[in-house]
Amino acid sequence: MKGLEYLVRPRTVAIVGASREPTKIGHVILKNIIDNGFPKERVFPINPNVEEILGLKCYANLKEVPSELDLAVIAVPANIVPKIIEDCVEKGVKFAAIISSGFREVGNVEAEKRIVEIAKKGGVRVLGPNIVGLIDTVVNLNASFLPYLPEKGEIVMISQSGALAAGLLTWTKVKGIGLLDIISLGNRADIDECELIEFFSKDPHTKAITLYMEGVEDGKKFMEVAERVCRKKPIIILKAGKGKKAAEAVRSHTGSLAGLDVAYDAAFKQCGIIRASDIRTLFDYALSLAMLPDPKGENVVIVTNGGGVGIMCADACEDLGLHLMEIPDDLALALREWMPSFGSVLNPIDLTGMATEKEYYGALSVLLRDERVHAVITLFSHPATLDPMNVAKAIASCVSEVGKNKPIVSAFIGGKECDDATRFLIKNGVPTFDTPERAAAAIATKYKYVYYKSRPAGKHLEVKREKDRAHEIIARAIKEGRNLTQSESCEVARFYGIPAPKKNVAKSLEEAIGFADSIGYPIVLEVESPDVLHKTDIGAIKLNIKNSKELEHAYHEIIKSVVERCPGARIEGVVVRSFVKEGVQVAVGMHRDEVFGPLVMFGSGGVLVELYKDVSFRVAPLTDVDVDEMMSETKVYQVLKGFRGPRKDVDSVKNVLAAVNQLALDFDVISDVDINPLFVYESGCMAFDVKILLKRDIA
């Protein structure tokens, strides 16, 4: 990352492929650099066929430039790029931003590897290839083919999509949202989002980092950087691509619930990243996080000139978990001075439709001066008799004069005049939106980020285990090219401290009856097979068998059902085990994600787990904070804590989560773990069913 400022804010720039032809990319980029205020004397067009472009002397190649070069912007055909990179090396150029396309994105992987190899050997760093360029408003650099610089701001936009970066520039300009930098990543052959995030975390001009993401290649590296940065500055990500894995690729309950997007969602939560659902929320959250001070407490107050929008905002606040302050008598009395007798001080504070800019200023100044009020949402619904700009100016003046000591956001509901007022307030440091719900979400996001950056780091979980004995079982299955059987899975679980019943494998009906007599009825029968994963689906498990006659019938039914409904499955016997008393059903599992590694799951258990989807995920290794957060995100956690019944042994479930976490870290050959259901009692728990699956290239 050292020296990345010479990419983002270079002192000198060369444009390789500069052209006199207005339709050529090389011409557009050169013109954009000149027209947007970057010093002309530090700009060097490179083209061997002409002597001058746009009033600047042209050079045949980089080596002829009579100046040290921080950045070379390359806009030439793909086949010429390797030679240009060699020139960069020879000249000592620090960074190359490659606009040129025609590399990995079209299957030309080797050419891309070649340019990176040349660059790295010569100490040149590469942004791209296949980018739209980069923009910085500190040095007024528009080294892109985007049409103009954005309004100056404190928000950085990093994009894995060049086309989206172009669209966002226009969108933010129209909305009056200022940006500090726009960086297009392209193919990320060298410099990636991690380096840029780390750079901007230390940049004094940057208040918030936004990122449009389609994916990362190294999930662990990304999490390490993001978690470190989020303690200092907010990261807001719009992640595209929420499609599920193809059904045939899923072999477990946990795997079917852990679609591609779930891993990113879990990683973002653990790192403290704010996730946006669309472009609008991306910048709603960015405005809030870049502009607002941290709240000093939970009390939120709404001020409005209309009861309807106030109620809508209050509903949104409740849904978002915000605490609406109960207005004390002395504060209510002070607010009464700024409303007619029929106004309301119940929160939302309703100034009524008679309110002018004077009443808004007065009520807002009362709230901003009261230390018991920690955040304010001002709402304005446009009446025909009042100019929204006057109200906007009153709000901005109040914030400026009283001081930005607490977060305040606004929503102006109306037409073009309200749009103008919205832009004015944003320019004056007050995030403003067009609906009360967006305003509430902006404040809620600020509270969420304050929690993220201040929460304890947590302690990594420790588990007493018999790893060597578990390894013997797993190694045997690997040698035989199969998954673990039911009895083997339970045995490994017990080695990791997970309570699971002992499973006796009977090779015959007579042996099964003998085991049952020894255990005592009632018992459970289930097939022992590395090929049958969901026994309930094919009738391969029978519960609550009370005597030998029922056992004989169940035994034959299981064998027949597996043969008919799962032809070719290896039947290694029938498991006989004690009947486990029911408790609250939860599910604990693990699915190994290709990008982030082991994903540990907790949620409601039973055969309908995939239908209810009351589950939460985190990326291993887990901390005690991760476990508390993931459990609290589910509805079944409320049941465990005693909702309409006695409190259950939550700590025993946490121990199982810790064990699954450790098992996944100890054996990277394991692809999935399913413990479903895990019965939880007032004291202790018991895993009714355990599956441990190995990676496909093994089993």
What count of other Cβ atoms lies within 10 Å of the Cβ of residue 649? Answer: 17
Radius of gyration of the chain (CA): 31
Q: In what order do the strands lie in the sheet with 504-506?
A: 504-506, 574-578, 523-527, 541-545
Mean pLDDT of 46-50: 97
Percent of the chain with pLDDT over 90: 87
* Amino acid at the residue 75: A
Percent of the chain with pLDDT over 70: 97
Compute CA distances 208 → 240, 274, 283, 410, whole Å: 20, 11, 10, 20
Domain boundary among 415, 432, 454: 454
Domain boundary among 578, 613, 635: 578
Same-domain check for residues 446 and 500: no
Flag whether 265 is in a domain.
no
| Integer Cα distance of 321 and 630 in angstroms | 17
| Integer Cα distance of 137 and 180 in angstroms | 5
pLDDT tens digits, 275-317:
999 999 999 999 999 999 999 999 999 999 999 999 999 999 9
| Integer Cα distance of 49 and 32 in angstroms | 21
pLDDT tens digits, 295-304:
999 999 999 9
pLDDT tens digits, 432-487:
999 999 999 999 999 999 999 999 999 999 899 999 999 999 999 999 999 998 88
Please say whether the beta carbons of 29 and 134 come within 8 A. no
| Integer Cα distance of 107 and 261 in angstroms | 25
Mean pLDDT of 592-597: 94
Helix (H, G, I), strand (E, B) or coil at 142: strand
| Integer Cα distance of 589 and 617 in angstroms | 9
Q: pLDDT at position 451, please?
A: 97
Question: What backbone torsions phi and psi does residue 159 show, to the nearest 5 degrees?
Answer: -130, 135
Flag whether 542 is in a domain.
yes
Element (H, E) at 285: helix 279-291
pLDDT tens digits, 357-377:
999 999 999 999 999 999 999
Please return the burial class of 79, using the count of CB atoms within 10 Å of its CB with bins 0-12, 13-18 and 19+: exposed
Same-domain check for residues 316 and 401: yes
Q: pLDDT at position 247, please?
A: 33
Mean pLDDT of 378-407: 95
Flag whether 213 is in a domain.
no
Q: Is the pLDDT at 251 greater than 50, yes or no?
A: no
| Integer Cα distance of 181 and 140 in angstroms | 10
**Range in 92-101, 249-258, 572-581 with the lowest mean pLDDT:** 249-258
Please provide the average confidence, as pLDDT, over all residues in the chain: 94
Same-domain check for residues 551 and 604: no
Compute CA distances 485 → 481, 524, 679, whole Å: 12, 16, 21
Same-domain check for residues 301 and 423: yes
Tokens 């392209």 correspond to 186
Pairing assessment for the beta strands 432-433 and 504-506 based on DSSP bridges: unpaired
Q: pLDDT at position 486, please?
A: 86
Same-domain check for residues 491 and 616: no
How many Cα neighbours within 13 Å face the side chain of 500?
Answer: 25
Same-domain check for residues 352 and 449: yes
Flag whether 250 is in a domain.
no
Q: Is the pLDDT at 244 greater than 90, yes or no?
A: no
Report residue 568's pLDDT band, with 50, 70 and 90 as the boundaries.
confident
**Of 190 and 695, the one with more pLDDT:** 190
Q: How many domains does the chain have?
A: 4
Same-domain check for residues 490 and 628: no
Q: pLDDT at position 698, please?
A: 67
Same-domain check for residues 444 and 320: yes
pLDDT tens digits, 3-33:
899 999 999 999 999 999 999 999 999 999 9
Mean pLDDT of 578-595: 93
Report residue 78's pLDDT band, with 50, 70 and 90 as the boundaries.
very high
| Integer Cα distance of 224 and 589 in angstroms | 24
Q: pLDDT at position 2, please?
A: 52
Pairing assessment for the beta strands 95-98 and 71-74 based on DSSP bridges: parallel
Same-domain check for residues 487 and 597: no
Helix (H, G, I), strand (E, B) or coil at 299: strand
Flag whether 603 is in a domain.
yes
Compute CA distances 242 → 20, 247, 263, 284, 521, whole Å: 44, 15, 11, 21, 48
pLDDT tens digits, 643-689:
988 999 999 999 999 999 999 999 999 999 999 999 999 999 999 88
Domain boundary among 555, 578, 601: 578
Domain at 592, CATH number: 3.30.470.20
Mean pLDDT of 336-342: 96
DSSP string computed for 567-628: TT-----EEEEEPPPP-EEEEEEEEEETTTEEEEEEEE-STTHHHH--EEEEESSPBHHHHH
Q: Is the pLDDT at 151 greater than 60, yes or no?
A: yes
- Tokens for 390? 């006057």
Helix (H, G, I), strand (E, B) or coil at 273: coil
Same-domain check for residues 682 and 637: yes
Domain at 504, CATH number: 3.30.1490.20
Domain at 419, CATH number: 3.40.50.261
Q: List the domain range (segments joined by +) for residue 676.
A: 584-694
pTM score of the predicted model: 0.92
Handedness of CA 384, 342, 306, 355 (dihedral sign): positive
Same-domain check for residues 569 and 502: yes
Same-domain check for residues 40 and 144: yes
Q: Is the pLDDT at 256 greater than 60, yes or no?
A: no
Alpha helices for 176-218 (secondary structure H)? 193-201
Please say whether the beta carbons of 245 and 260 come within 8 A. yes
Flag whether 283 is in a domain.
no
Flag whether 285 is in a domain.
no
Domain at 46, CATH number: 3.40.50.720
Flag whether 344 is in a domain.
yes
pLDDT tens digits, 599-619:
999 999 987 777 888 999 999
Report residue 167's pLDDT band, with 50, 70 and 90 as the boundaries.
confident
